[in-house]
Structure 1
Amino acid sequence: MAQQVSDLIVERLLAWGVDTIFGFPGDGVNGFFEALRTHQDKLRFIQVRHEESAAFAAVGYAKYSGRIGVCVATSGPGGIHLLNGLYDAKCDQQPVLAITGHTFHDLIGMDYQQDVDLDKLYMDVSVFNQRVMGPAHAVNCVDAAIRTAYAKRGVSHICIPKDIQEWPVSVSGKLRSGANIPHHSGDWSAPSSAHPSSTLIRKAAEIINAGSKVAIMAGRGALHCREEISQLADRVGGPVIKPLLGKAVLPDRSPYTTGGIGLLGTAPSIDAMDDCDTLIVVGSSFPYMEFLPKPGQAKCVQIELDASRIGLRHQVDIGLVGDAKAILTDLLPLLNENKEKKFLKAAQENMTSWNKLMEERGTRTSMPLKPQVVTYTLNKLLNDDAIVSSDSGTIATWTARYIEMRGTMKFSLSGSLATMANGLPYSIGAAAAFPGRQVICIVGDGGLTMLLGELATIAKYKFPVKVIVIKNNVLGEIKWEQMILDGNPEFGVELQPIDFAKVAEACGTAGYTVEHPEDVERVLGEALRHDGPALVQAVVDPNEPPMPGKITTQQAIKFAEAILRGQKNAMTIIKDIAEDKIREVV
């Protein structure tokens, strides 16, 4: 039986099926940590080295498991540190509960130590945000927080003053208001989502049937309906284009997909978007509108669980609000079969050429080692149920293009927020949610350095995470953005080299290094076979460009401007780009 308010909260989390909580202790949550200690046989606490990691791990846990991720931090700075990870959850619409401490309830606002009003600070990031006022309020808050996080697919926050955490439950009856009926809040099952009318679905089918070049963009909202998406592509004879959060919707070698879209996408996906006369968007709010059909080019049907996102990126002729799987099940019988499938066949031919180009770039033997060689080789060694997390930066390009989804593989990264440093904490969340599965973290040296201490976390909990560090001693994405988008020479992007293999070993994680193309498969194989966490630092060419699927005239002009303004290693970069373009033309 619960003795204190913190016990009530922990027991309520258990009632909701929470089994893991990520966090970092502090005096502002000491009462809550005592409850975690006394319930450690039922609720597992994973101690990270930075509160930001706790939030990221909770997001990764939610993304990969579909269950709510929970994190805890102390008052003041601890709660502040959670924010970046919580904004990642907000931007990618993941259910996460953040529990934070506060100073003594009767010293709030009195400039006492760590007196930061976190419930005000969290107003923008949260869908539910309350300060616990006593024992009778605690259960209500937990129930409402979890219920709202699931229903609104966002961040819930409960803040508990440090003394209230230790108030005895025995006073609850004395403090309970007459209107607060005991046990009125309770467990909750997700209600069936809204479903469009049959009339609206028929109108959507009419638009699709009228199209001769139908393209399908399937995002993370379609991850649970692989079969329906395949049937849709086959029925309409249209290629499936996958924003990065929807990478696992279809296997990358499926005959129905042209892979990713955007700067790190494929040329066949760009071609399909440029040529289509009808666009079906399923569960995606892909933000880069410049890669979507031009205004007036294509009719559009959008299937989306969140009604507020209908028409957010592209003008929509019919919006179907509800679960993608249920809507597609009703829509498919109404669609005419495109027997010629000319548009799809053209996309398939383009993908054959694209895959040959990727293989050509991924098997280069020149020095310095090319980053594509690392991810291309890694792809061949992964299990068919691997869980892969990527960080932000050029590393996302190498991962998107060379790590191919197959079997029951899962993949994610920071989508709309596109923050650095998420990769390793995501992998911690994945390892906690799926013990025994292969968990891969592909990260750049810039992103890894930000939360480097989590190498000790995977060692402490013996999480068998394999960390692949693409080490080029530069913030690569920012370097290329400065050149290609702004026409400026790189500045402020060089990194002090770190021997990550030695750091990993110092943290208790196995460390490996690879610098030569002929050694990549052997070293990666050794690391993947290692019984426990391991890190491979791949020392790669800092001047290898993450070539977009298609180079625009504006990008070429900006690149030329950067060269003229004094970009260092200009001739080396020009040589690498020229080699890539020659391979593409050939």
Structure 2
Amino acid sequence: MQEIVGECLARRLLEWGVDTIFGLPGDGINGLMEGFRRHQERLRFVLVHHEEAAAFMATGYAKATGRLGVCAATSGPGAIHLLNGLYDAKLDHVPVLAITGMQETSVLGSNYQQEVHTTHLYQDVAAYNLMVTNPQQMPGVLDIAIRNALTKRTVAHLTFPNDLQVAAVTQDPYRHVSPGEPPKSSPVVSLPAVPAAQPDLQRAAEVLNAGSKVAMLVGIGARGARAEVLAVAEALGSPIVKTLPGKMVVPDDHPLTTGGLGLLGTRPSEELMEECDTLLMVGTSYPYAKYLPSPGQARVVQIDVDPSLMGMRLPVDAAVTADARLALQQLLPLLQTRTDRSFLGKYQRERDTWLADMARLRDPERHPIAPQYLMGCVDEAAADDAILTCDSGTIATWSARHWTIRGGREYYLSGNLATMAPGLPYAIAIQHAHPGRQVIAFVGDGGFAMLMAEFLTAVRHELPIKVIINNNNSYGQILWEQIILGYPEYAVRHRQPEADFGAWARACGAFGAKVTDPKALPDAIRQALAHPGPALVDCDVNPNEPPMPGKVHYEQAKHFTEAFLRGQPKKMATLASVARDKINELRP
């Protein structure tokens, strides 16, 4: 049988080590699907219900494995649906290849059905973006696309007209004299780690050694450098602050860390950023400058493998372009071990107080159920190597503060894009990549409802994911954002009846439970985690529970008060929740 372009694509993906494609077929990629079919014993196609989920799955797969994620969609609407998940990959710097279809070359430009020029559509999201127009471009352009995705840690996109997909890979429809075939070089699946230049390290060490109140801010770029981060922090007597995507870098129960930063972070982390005179940023270009030291307050050292990210938020006194683990290994011998640990000790005591406050918010007596208690029950029952995926919204606050990184635990969410709905697709892809691990999706009712059909995908593929729904029957984060702006809430709560997603899970043939009583919650969580297949717990939580910042500023309190004076609905229930939280924090 003559090899067609679709088959050549599949074969070359296998040579690059790709074993899974997430996608949804359509007549715009039938030739590609035939190529995938011919290699189905080695190349698995995970059929989804919505293309957006396919892109999220490819992104989650890439985040959890460090390997290339691949998604495929048909022409027109299918390709458009991929975009949200692809922007998630781009903004969080993970390698994803998107493969889409295109109308036959003979009808392009004729307003043919579903004719959307995806190379124009994808020009912002994809670092490499090409419509294949000659069978002999394969597999060279695929190599180039994959190399771009892996080396730049971003999105690459190839789109294939229908007639090209089924053409013989040796065919040259133009019969022209080619200057030469594209290079078909051997795949390099893993990239070498980049060491730091010695002059950059010397400059960084000078800045750090001169500081008296040194803080570290670590992000997901420091993943895999846990031991090195802790060793440098120990030498500098530095508290470690973590970005939300970088939550897994250092255990939450380690005495050197004060936890996260920002709206979802901790009070000690925010306050030490206001006091430090030196900041070491490792593997992060943290976007929220208002939570960083004021300009001129602190000298800054930044370590990042991507030089384009240097100095994006603060002026940098020493920039080290290198792999985080290698750079910290090289930097450590140049550092003077700090004997004065008063700055660290101060914030260790503040951290202990903060953790005690958070523990008291996990109150099992509250009804409706406190979302902090829900997350606490999951945290207590989950395995020490469990992987938690999360959506954007109030659930991110509860998971940031009440999901404890310990042992081999991991944590994934949409970092910079902060989009709704990736939690479930992430969990499916990560469970596929790590079949022996416990994978838990902690999601809100809003995000789950967007792509809930993919729970059926998990059932059909026998992926034993666990889904925990923090159900407040509203778009909780938007509700509180409206209030913080000083406006009464509007159009953010769903009408009755409330959904019973546990019934949906049972209808899919999985474990499903609906919980409204806090006394029943721990047992329901344990049953779901122990279930051998997919499981879902839909928990009704207090819809008026505020995701309060770690440190409430005057302007936030002022706008909160103004919203109530303007006629905030549910004001008594909201005030009761705030008062109860404060009472719990003050309770010995």
Q: Counterparts of 1:270-309 in structure 2 under 5 Å?
A: 270-309=270-309
How far off its partner does 1:139 sit? Answer: 0.5
Distance, in Å, in 2 between the alignment partners of 1:410 and 1:54 is 21
Percent identity between matched residues is 47
Q: Counterpart of 1:420 in 2: which secondary structure?
A: coil
Q: Which runs of 5+ in 1 are unaligned?
A: none
**Does the Cα contact within 8 Å between 1:245 and 1:412 map onto a contact in 2?**
yes
Distance, in Å, in 2 between the alignment partners of 1:267 and 1:361 is 15
Q: Counterpart of 1:171 in 2: which secondary structure?
A: coil
**Does the Cα contact within 8 Å between 1:204 and 1:301 map onto a contact in 2?**
yes
Q: Counterparts of 1:221-236 in structure 2 under 5 Å?
A: 221-236=221-236
Match of residue 378 from structure 1: 378
Distance, in Å, in 2 between the alignment partners of 1:521 and 1:26 is 44
Match of residue 522 from structure 1: 523
After superposition, the Cα gap between the structure-2 partners of 1:8 and 1:585, relative to the gap in structure 1 and judged at 3 Å, is same
How far off its partner does 1:180 sit? Answer: 2.3
Match of residue 220 from structure 1: 220
Match of residue 198 from structure 2: 198
Give a deviation string over 1:332-357, Cα, whole Å, max 9, x none. Answer: 11111112311111111111111111
Match of residue 334 from structure 1: 334
**Does the Cα contact within 8 Å between 2:134 and 2:173 map onto a contact in 1?**
no
How far off its partner does 1:138 sit? Answer: 2.0
Shifted more, 343-352 versus 457-466: the winner is 343-352
- Give the residue type in structure 1 aligned to 2:286: F
After superposition, the Cα gap between the structure-2 partners of 1:191 and 1:514, relative to the gap in structure 1 and judged at 3 Å, is closer
How far off its partner does 1:508 sit? Answer: 2.6
Distance, in Å, in 2 between the alignment partners of 1:578 and 1:51 is 44
Paired residue total: 585
Shifted more, 570-579 versus 106-115: the winner is 570-579
Distance, in Å, in 2 between the alignment partners of 1:411 and 1:266 is 17
Q: Counterparts of 1:531-550 in structure 2 under 5 Å?
A: 531-550=532-551
Distance, in Å, in 1 between the alignment partners of 2:505 and 2:272 is 44
Match of residue 455 from structure 2: 455
Q: Counterparts of 1:127-276 in structure 2 under 5 Å?
A: 127-171=127-171, 175=175, 177-181=177-181, 184-188=184-188, 192=192, 194-276=194-276
How far off its partner does 1:467 sit? Answer: 0.3
After superposition, the Cα gap between the structure-2 partners of 1:575 and 1:104, relative to the gap in structure 1 and judged at 3 Å, is same
How far off its partner does 1:364 sit? Answer: 3.7
Distance, in Å, in 1 between the alignment partners of 2:494 and 2:93 is 33
How far off its partner does 1:174 sit? Answer: 8.2
**Does the Cα contact within 8 Å between 1:134 and 1:167 map onto a contact in 2?**
no
**Are 2:18 and 1:28 aligned?**
no
Distance, in Å, in 2 between the alignment partners of 1:214 and 1:313 is 18
Give a deviation string over 1:135-154, Cα, whole Å, max 9, x none. Answer: 21121111011000001110
**Does the Cα contact within 8 Å between 1:446 and 1:495 map onto a contact in 2?**
no
After superposition, the Cα gap between the structure-2 partners of 1:28 and 1:296, relative to the gap in structure 1 and judged at 3 Å, is same
Match of residue 361 from structure 1: 361
After superposition, the Cα gap between the structure-2 partners of 1:176 and 1:237, relative to the gap in structure 1 and judged at 3 Å, is farther
**Structure-1-length-normalised TM-score:** 0.97
**Does the Cα contact within 8 Å between 1:5 and 1:134 map onto a contact in 2?**
no
Distance, in Å, in 2 between the alignment partners of 1:50 and 1:464 is 20
Shifted more, 552-561 versus 193-202: the winner is 193-202
How far off its partner does 1:132 sit? Answer: 1.1
Distance, in Å, in 2 between the alignment partners of 1:122 and 1:18 is 22
Distance, in Å, in 2 between the alignment partners of 1:581 and 1:553 is 17
Distance, in Å, in 2 between the alignment partners of 1:412 and 1:175 is 50
How far off its partner does 1:268 sit? Answer: 1.1
Q: Which runs of 5+ in 2 are unaligned?
A: none
**Does the Cα contact within 8 Å between 1:28 and 1:75 map onto a contact in 2?**
yes
Distance, in Å, in 1 between the alignment partners of 2:472 and 2:420 is 16
Distance, in Å, in 2 between the alignment partners of 1:202 and 1:536 is 53
How far off its partner does 1:194 sit? Answer: 5.0
**Does the Cα contact within 8 Å between 1:2 and 1:11 map onto a contact in 2?**
no
Match of residue 489 from structure 1: 488
Q: Counterpart of 2:98 in 1: which secondary structure?
A: strand
- Give the residue type in structure 2 aligned to 1:488: Y
**Does the Cα contact within 8 Å between 1:225 and 1:324 map onto a contact in 2?**
yes
